[in-house]
Chains A and B, each alone.
Chain A
Amino acid sequence: MPLNKAFEGREFAESPPYEVTAESIREFADAIGDPNPLYRDETAAKEAGYDAIIAPPTYLTKLNFIYSAEMMLDPDLGLNYALVVHGEQEYEYRRPVRAGDVLVAKPRIASIAARGRNELLVTEAVVSTTSGEQVAVARSTIVSRGTAPQEG
Chain B
Amino acid sequence: MVASHAAKNLKKGQELPPWSYKVVREDLVRYANASGDANPIHQNEEFAKSVGLPDIIAHGMHTMARMGQYITDWTGDPGAVELFKTRFSAMVVVPADGGNIVTVAGKVSETLEGERVRIDLLATTQDGAAVAKGEAIVALG
Q: Which A residues between 44 and 60 are near B, CB-CB below 8 angstroms? A: 47-48, 50, 54, 56-58
Task: Give B86's nearest chain A residue, CB to CB.
Answer: A89
Q: B71 to chain A: which residues have CB within 8 Å? A: 57
Task: Give B62's nearest chain A residue, CB to CB.
Answer: A32
**Least Cβ distance of B91 to chain A in Å?**
9
Q: B81 to chain A: which residues have CB within 8 Å? A: 57, 93
The answer, yes or no, to whether A146 is at the interface (CB within 8 Å) is no
The answer to whether A89 touches B35 (Cβ under 8 A) is no
The answer to whether A91 touches B78 (Cβ under 8 A) is no
- Chain A interface: which of B7-15, B25-33, B120-128? B25-33
Cα A152 to Cα B69 with chains together (Å): 48
Assuming the contacts A62-B36, A86-B60, asked whether A36 and B72 have C-beta atoms less than 8 A apart, the reply is: yes
The answer, yes or no, to whether A34 is at the interface (CB within 8 Å) is yes
The answer, yes or no, to whether A88 is at the interface (CB within 8 Å) is yes
Q: B69 to chain A: which residues have CB within 8 Å? A: 32-34, 36, 56
Task: Give B91's nearest chain A residue, CB to CB.
Answer: A85
The answer to whether A88 touches B35 (Cβ under 8 A) is no
Cα A34 to Cα B82 with chains together (Å): 19
The answer to whether A56 touches B65 (Cβ under 8 A) is yes
Q: Which B residues between 1 and 59 are near A, CB-CB below 8 angstroms? A: 1, 21, 27, 30-31, 33-37, 51
How many interface residues does chain A have, given as a range?
A: 35 or more
Assuming the contacts A27-B34, A38-B1, A96-B79, asked whether A61 and B61 have C-beta atoms less than 8 A apart, the reply is: yes
Q: B72 to chain A: which residues have CB within 8 Å? A: 34, 36, 56-57
The answer to whether B34 touches A28 (Cβ under 8 A) is yes
The answer to whether A89 touches B60 (Cβ under 8 A) is yes
Known: A33-B27, A36-B73, A89-B60. 18 other contacts (CB 8 A): A24-B34, A28-B34, A30-B34, A31-B31, A32-B69, A36-B72, A36-B78, A54-B79, A56-B68, A58-B64, A58-B65, A65-B36, A86-B61, A87-B88, A88-B86, A90-B83, A93-B84, A96-B78
Name B's A-contacting residues (CB within 8 A).
1, 21, 27, 30-31, 33-37, 51, 60-62, 64-66, 68-69, 71-73, 77-79, 81-88
Shortest Cβ-Cβ A-B pairs, 5 listed: A31-B34, A90-B85, A32-B65, A31-B30, A48-B1
| Subset of 23 A-B contacts with CB under 8 Å | A27-B34, A28-B35, A31-B33, A31-B34, A32-B34, A32-B66, A32-B68, A34-B66, A34-B68, A54-B79, A57-B72, A58-B61, A58-B65, A61-B37, A61-B61, A62-B36, A65-B37, A85-B88, A86-B60, A88-B85, A90-B83, A91-B84, A141-B87
